[in-house]
A = this chain, B = another copy of it.
Amino acid sequence: MKTLILISHPKFEDSGTQQFLKTSFYSLDDVKYQVIDELYGQSDGIDIEKEQSALKGFDRIIFQFPMYWYSSPASLKQFMDDVFTRNYIVANRSVKTKQLGIVVTLGDAKADFQAGGSEQFTISELLRPLQAFAHKAGMQYLKPLVVDQFGYMDPEQKEKLLIDYLQYLSAEMPLSLANREKWLVERLQSTKQGKSDEKQQAIDLVINSLEDQQNNVESLKEDVKMIRNQEE
């Protein structure tokens, strides 16, 4: 599966959150990224046909941005207005069946985004325009990954974010426990290459333990199912 991250950020290089995320996805082979603001910074402007055909090779497209006034910065909207022409999206159905993911970073706490909270509306409500776009384009809208208050995260929280983010970019959807574990095993398999025999054995041990755990979960699920059936 190939993933394209379209980043909208007027100061991408200066953003600690964005640079952390960039360092993370550099470890994945099938992930490419594009900072939209850099496309518009070019002297000869954006090449619409080039951008349209660039999307073809990807299965998952991610819009990644900090929330500015309850939506993306203007550059993502400019890109959508320019590249996602009606012809491209509606007549030719060019991105149909692709997945659309959203990685949105917040300066405020997630909990403020609800009725009665200081931001009044939920992230789901505020992202309706993007959800409506995915619907019109025939794309599968993925549950957004919301990263709030990165600046306050301790190292453990950042590690968790890193895994969540990498899975959001490259794991099979939905992000169920089974799909997360499958992803982890694949990642571990790929890190074995070029390692010493000893290290490979250690990695295999971890993989086996994960797979045992997964089998245990499956067998527990079966048990629960049986008990439920007996109760009915």
A74 at interface by CB-CB < 8 Å: yes
Pairwise interchain contact A69-B129, C-beta atoms closer than 8 A: yes
Contacts of A69 in B (CB 8 A): 77, 80-81, 84, 129, 132-133
Q: Closest B residue to A113 by CB, please name it.
A: B132
* Chain B nearest Cβ from A8, distance in angstroms: 10
- Which A residues between 36 and 88 are near B, CB-CB below 8 angstroms? 68-75, 77-78, 80-81, 84
Pairwise interchain contact B71-A77, C-beta atoms closer than 8 A: yes
A218 at interface by CB-CB < 8 Å: no
Q: Which of B84, B121, B136 contacts A128 (CB 8 A)?
A: B121
A32 at interface by CB-CB < 8 Å: no
Chain copies in the assembly? 2
Among A77, A131, A135, find the residue whose CB has the most chain B CB atoms closer than 10 A: A77
A204 at interface by CB-CB < 8 Å: no
A131 to B10, CA, bound (A): 24
Contacts of A126 in B (CB 8 A): 128-129, 132
* Chain B nearest Cβ from A141, distance in angstroms: 11
Contacts of A73 in B (CB 8 A): 77, 81
Contacts of A129 in B (CB 8 A): 69-71, 126, 129
Binding site for B on A (CB under 8 A): 10, 68-75, 77-78, 80-81, 84, 119-121, 125-126, 128-133, 135-136
9 closest residue pairs by CB, A with B: A70-B129, A74-B78, A74-B77, A70-B132, A71-B129, A74-B74, A125-B128, A69-B80, A120-B135
A69-B132, A74-B80, A126-B129 are known contacts; what are 14 more A-B pairs with Cβ within 8 Å?
A69-B84, A70-B129, A70-B130, A71-B71, A73-B77, A74-B75, A74-B77, A74-B78, A77-B77, A119-B136, A120-B132, A121-B131, A125-B128, A128-B128
